[in-house]
Each structure stands twice: as C-alpha cells, then as structure tokens.
Chain A
C-alpha cells in the first residue's frame, strides 16, 4: 500500500506538553500546575443565555462570518476598550476559538516561501500553522533580561526581504510578559517601515495587571496592517465553548471568511448567543477573575522571592516563568524529576521554544489552596536540589 500520509504533516513535531500530561493522568494524587485554562466556571448568566438560546430553538447555523449581534458587540467592545473602529460587516469574523483565527489568518496571508516571524517562548500553534500555510517560520528568541518583550532591534535583525507577517503573542503564554505602549510603538515603527503585517494574538488581553492592555492595532497606521485575534476562552472562562474572533482589513478578513466557510461553515451557534451576553454584561465577572488571578500572581512572586527562585515579574496572562538555571539541569530534567519525586506537574519552558531552556511554566489558574500545596512541594524539592549540589 502507498504511504497514506502527508510528509509535511508527519514532520511536524507533536506538542511538548503532552508527555507530562500523559504521566499526570496516570499518576495518583499528582497535582498539576500545567493547565492553561481558567479554573473558574463560565459565569452563570452567560451559560444561562446559551441554555435560553437552545430553549428558543436557535439551533441553526449562523451566517459564515458569525452572528450579526455578536459581531456588533465585538466591535463595540474593541471601540470601548481600545478605541479602534471596526466595521462589523466587513472587518470582523467569529471563529472557533482564537486558534482557528491563527490558522486561517496565516493561510489567508502567506505565499509559499514567505517568512513568518514568531517570537518565542510562545504558544505552540504558530509554528505548525505557519508551516501548514506554506510559510517558513523564523523564530525570534526573546530574552529574560528584556522580560521576554520583543524589542525593536530583535525585530529588525530578523526581518528579511521575504518577511511577510510578524506574530505578536502578548500578553504572553508561557512567560506572562506584556508589551506596553512604548514597546509597541517601537515595534510598529519598524513594521510600517519594512511594510510587513502583524498578527496580534490578544487572547489574554483582559488579563493584565499593570495598566490596561494596549493593542498594537490601536496605534496610528497599524489598523490597516494588523489582524487582531481575541476570544472568549480566557477572559470569560469559556474555553469549552470554542469561540474567538479576528478583526482586520476587509481584504484579509474576506479571504479568512472564505477558508472558514469551506472548512468550518460557522462557529457554534449556542456559544455565539452566550458570547453576546458575555460582552454585554460580563465586565464585572472579568474584573473579579482578574482580581483573583492577580492575588495568586502576587502570592507566587512573594514565595519565589522567599525561596530565592529567580523570576521576573510577569504582568499578564496566568503564568509565571521562573528560571531554574541555578540547579544545573535542563527544564525537561527538572520537570521530570519534580513530577516523579514530588508529584507536581509543571511544563518545561522548552515546550514553547528552544529559548525556553532553563525556565518552567507555572500556571496559576488554580485556587490559592491548591497553589499552596504545590508550592510547598516545590520548596521541598528545591531545598533538596540545593543540598545535593552543595554535597557534590
């Protein structure tokens, strides 16, 4: 029989997080600090709208680009939060999570051989999506001394004649890094100068703890060259509803809708009705969740300091990214031993790019009580490692 598989797909590496999760699910009383989704349930009034839409028999497809009401609310939200004017009719598409928007956005924008700049450490989907779209991913290794922000110089150094798209993944998973207005202005200047496009993944945009999130699309001259991606999973704890959106220039969105209509048809109808409620009446919920995350973030920074564990202070998402270089082992070794000996799962930084070596991703999408138990074990583990190194 002939080989039924596509070489391109076979050559894509599976996600590095998988391995640890497989062990955790087998291990009894293992606790995880690895999960990348909110620990909150979707607020009841949002769920209630979903249920109500089912009761009313709203079980048909919506239009391909999404429910008109929802697109209008998305545009209202971006106007209210970022001061950006998007046309709901031509510049907005509702997708199956932010992840679909990343995929179809790249496919709509790149030609074979085009280069897509991917700052790392970052979410694991950009690279495979770029490859599947026929582009060549070019990695920008972000640095701890810059708090894992993208600097203008780093961007400039990575740009070639073939560069088409820069992916801007902030607030960042896994580092928790943010880009503040001044950082973005420096990047935007080069983007415009070099005439490239930006895919700004702002899925954690509601979860920042130092001023509000600034979208690069809100800067002068950037709206026309940015695909802004966001969704409901993180801000409203709606991961399972699978709903996101993209806003951008009409000509790009049109092509994204084309792919979306052939591959997906439309995003889930029930989720779209629930999301309308989230955008209309969900501000208070977001505030409450952000507050809880922020308390946990402060707690973690405090205990790391007490333990003497090096970690820059992250101001976004729900991750901290401590440095474990002092222990003289790789992230993978550290995470494996920590899981084996203390039964706590964390994700090695290398799962998010080679430059994540020497770091761990710790998620604080867990209750304070859970965090305390896990941190207790981390403290024990670290003490043992330090004692080992002194003995050696």
Chain B
C-alpha cells in the first residue's frame, strides 16, 4: 500500500485520510499510521503546492546554476553543498555527475537579485572554482505536471 499511497499523495497532497482509505481499500487508521511512519522515516519530507507563478502578479525569476567546486578532504562535496543550501534564495542543490559538480536552483525577485547572489555570495566561496548561470524562461512541465494545458475530453461518441 505504501507505494500506491505515495503515488496518490505525490499528485494530490490535499486529499484527506477518509478518501485515501476508500481509494486504497484499507482502514483509515492504517492510512494515518502509514503516513506518520513515512514522515518519521523521512520518506515524506513535506506537502507542497505546485504554483504557476506566471499567472500571479508576483515577479519571480528562476535560474539554474552549474557550479564547479573543489571537494574537501574527508568531507567530499557535503560541506560545500551545505554552505550553499543554507541560503534561503537557494531552492534546490543537487550533486551532479558529468561536466560540473553541483546544480543549484535559485529563486529571486529579479535578474539583478540572482546575478548579485551569484557574483557576491556563490562565486566568492573558497571552494567554488566557476559558475555558469542559466535563467529559466518558461516552465512547460514541473513535478510531472504539464503547466497550463487544458484537460479536455476529446473522446467522440461511438457505439457500441
């Protein structure tokens, strides 16, 4: 049931316990316990909302930054990653295989805010060798959801 429960709430975290129990064909208490267990185990890390900010009046700029760093003896990439993820502007940090080391996802109010974060804070860190900043122009699909696509039933009437 765990996998199926996760696949439901991954798409709809607002669904209530009663309905989950119906969909999964189990008791409500089982759902409650399973959710609590998974929160405790760190499998469920939060219940977030996917927002298309473009449709709001709020200005937001997102960027992905490729960062090359010098790993530190005994700690590898962990301590530098920690230095970076502590900034509140930083949305996500991933260790990446290939041409660079860390991929940092940033969110800011303007291009200026992001560029000053990169030049003032990120590139001045000791272990950071170089950065390459990519601004996101448009989101087509995020978290497995296609942004701004209308869902229309295109099935035609057919018999039998």
Query: A residues touching B (Cβ–Cβ < 8 Å)?
Result: 14-15, 17-18, 21-22, 24-25, 35-37, 39, 123-125, 288, 291, 294-295, 298-299, 302, 367-368
Contacts and interface: CB of A to CB of B under 8 A. Distances in A.
A39 B160 contact: no
A367 B155 CA distance: 13
A298 B160 contact: no
B22 interface: yes
B148 interface: no
Nearest to B157: A21
Nearest to B25: A298
A22 B157 contact: yes
Contacts of A25: 157
Given A39-B155, A298-B24, A368-B23, 13 more contacts: A15-B159, A17-B159, A17-B160, A21-B159, A35-B155, A36-B160, A124-B160, A288-B7, A294-B25, A295-B23, A299-B19, A299-B22, A367-B151
A15 B160 contact: yes
B159 A123 contact: no
Contacts of A24: 157
B96 interface: no
Contacts of B41: none
B160 A125 contact: yes
Contacts of B38: none
A39 B22 contact: no
A124 B4 contact: no
Interface of B: 4, 7-8, 19, 22-25, 151, 153, 155, 157-160
A282 B89 CA distance: 41
Q: Which 5 A-B pairs have the closest CB atoms?
A: A21-B157, A124-B160, A295-B23, A15-B159, A302-B22
Contacts of A368: 23
B4 A291 contact: yes
Contacts of B153: 39
A21 B7 CA distance: 34
A124 B160 CA distance: 6
Best-buried of A14, A288, A302 by chain B (most CB within 10 Å): A302
30 contacts: A15-B160, A17-B159, A17-B160, A21-B157, A21-B158, A21-B159, A22-B157, A24-B157, A25-B157, A35-B155, A36-B160, A37-B155, A37-B158, A39-B153, A39-B155, A124-B159, A125-B160, A288-B7, A291-B4, A291-B7, A294-B25, A295-B8, A295-B24, A298-B22, A298-B23, A298-B24, A299-B22, A299-B23, A367-B151, A368-B23
B124 to A, nearest CB: 44
A35 B156 CA distance: 9
Nearest to B22: A302
A299 B157 CA distance: 25
Contacts of B158: 21, 37
Contacts of A299: 19, 22-23
Contacts of B159: 14-15, 17-18, 21, 124
Nearest to A99: B160
A68 B8 CA distance: 39
Best-buried of B4, B8, B19, B159 by chain A (most CB within 10 Å): B159
Nearest to B19: A299
Contacts of A294: 25
A320 to B, nearest CB: 14
A118 to B, nearest CB: 14
